[in-house]
Amino acid sequence: MPYSRDRLMRAVDIAQVFSRTRSGTLGIISDESRELLVSPLRQRSPMGIGGGRRRNSSFGTPGSGIRQGGSLYQSLAMGRENTPLTGRARGRGTGSVLPSWYPRAPLNDITAVLRAIERRRARTGGREGIPIETPIIVEDEVDVNSNVPSGVQLEHNFSTPASTARLKKPCPPSVHNVSNILLSVTNMDAEESELLTPQKKLLNSIDTVGKALMEELQKLKRTPSAKKAERQKKVRTLMSIR
């Protein structure tokens, strides 16, 4: 429900409602005035007001109810003109030109982003032809650092061999293992590319990278210096509450 129902009995200004009966030059008769004027003894709070909201926060929370409703309908789009014969692939978001990690917001201006993607595609599309790289490398060029969630920064650090030279932060040697993993994933996927869509490949590689990252973090935690630092922290906490 977009807004909660107000159950309080409130006095309604009939004169005001009457002046609002007809809206604008079109003279549309409103439901609310009809009900109130027909039964003057029953006084209810006005309905239908505040239906509109101004929402300026970013929209793209995945898994929200509205999104699910839309995609459910989408899968049911029937009719001769909607058949795959017209070339439209099934599935949500297959036609979307934006990378999957890009935050979506209704009517957000994406002119600059798309132009950057096009430029990048024109440049790297011929050379390497590996779809996985595109979303990771695009981050480099596009100046949307303020909008991108922190999770993406992680991806950016674990770069593919092609952009290893452009790493912004100095990374420990263990991180290079991850780039090796990416390479192997890329090579593996190149063989079975007909079966997997670019999106699936990307998801697979994201999973692999995620696993590798967790392993690295665990390794780092287990080093003696890390353990010492942790122990010192615990001691400090205990001393402070003594």
Partner 1 sequence: MDSFIPNRSAMDFDYAHYMLTEGRKTKEDQTPCSSPAKEAYRKLLAETLNMNRTRILAFKNKPPTPVEHFPSGNSIASAHPAKSAKLRRHIPQSSERTLDAPDLVDDFYLNLLDWGSGNVLAIALANTVYLWDASDSSTSELVTVDDENGPITSVSWAPDGRHIAIGLNNSEVQLWDSTSNRQLRTMRGCHRSRVGSMAWNSHILTTGGMDGQIVNNDVRIRSHVVETYRGHQQEVCGLKWSASGQQLASGGNDNLVHIWDRSMASSNSPTQWLHRLEDHTSAVKALAWCSFQSNLLATGGGGGDRTIKFWNTHTGACLNSVDTGSQVCSLLWSKNERELLSSHGFTQNQLTLWKYPSMVKMTELTGHTSRVLYMAQSPDGCTVASAAGDETLRFWNVFGAPEVAKAAPKANNEPFSQLNRIR
Tokens of 78: 């029937």
Instruction: Provide DSSP, 123-169.
Output: HHHHHT--TTHHHHHHHHHS--TTTS-HHHHHHHHS--GGGGGG-SS
* Binding status of residue 110 toward partner 1 by CB under 8 A: yes
Q: How far apart are CA 94 and CA 199, in angstroms?
A: 8
Cβ at position 111, least distance to partner 1 in Å = 5
Other C-beta atoms within 10 Å of 68: how many? 11
Q: CB neighbours of 28 closer than 8 A, spacing ≥ 6?
A: 22
Q: How far apart are CA 120 and CA 35, in angstroms?
A: 60
* Binding status of residue 79 toward partner 1 by CB under 8 A: yes
Q: Tell me which residues in 143-162 interact with partner 1 (CB under 8 A).
A: none
Residue range at the interface with partner 1 (CB under 8 A); choices 101-109, 179-187, 209-217, 233-241: 101-109
* Binding status of residue 37 toward partner 1 by CB under 8 A: no
Cβ at position 154, least distance to partner 1 in Å = 24
* Binding status of residue 237 toward partner 1 by CB under 8 A: no
Tokens of 99: 């990378």
Cβ at position 87, least distance to partner 1 in Å = 3
Q: Tell me which residues in 2-31 interact with partner 1 (CB under 8 A).
A: 2, 22-31
Of residues 77, 154, 190, 229, which one binds partner 1 by CB under 8 A? 77
Of residues 17, 45, 67, 120, which one binds partner 1 by CB under 8 A? 67
* Binding status of residue 241 toward partner 1 by CB under 8 A: no
Cβ at position 122, least distance to partner 1 in Å = 13
Contact 150, 156 (CB under 8 A): no
Q: How far apart are CA 138 and CA 202, in angstroms?
A: 14
Q: Tell me which residues in 159-218 interact with partner 1 (CB under 8 A).
A: none
Q: CB neighbours of 120 closer than 8 A, spacing ≥ 6?
A: 134, 137, 138, 141
**Interface residue list for partner 1 (CB under 8 A):** 1-2, 22-31, 34, 48-56, 59-60, 65-67, 69-71, 73-74, 77, 79-82, 85-88, 93, 95-98, 104-111, 114
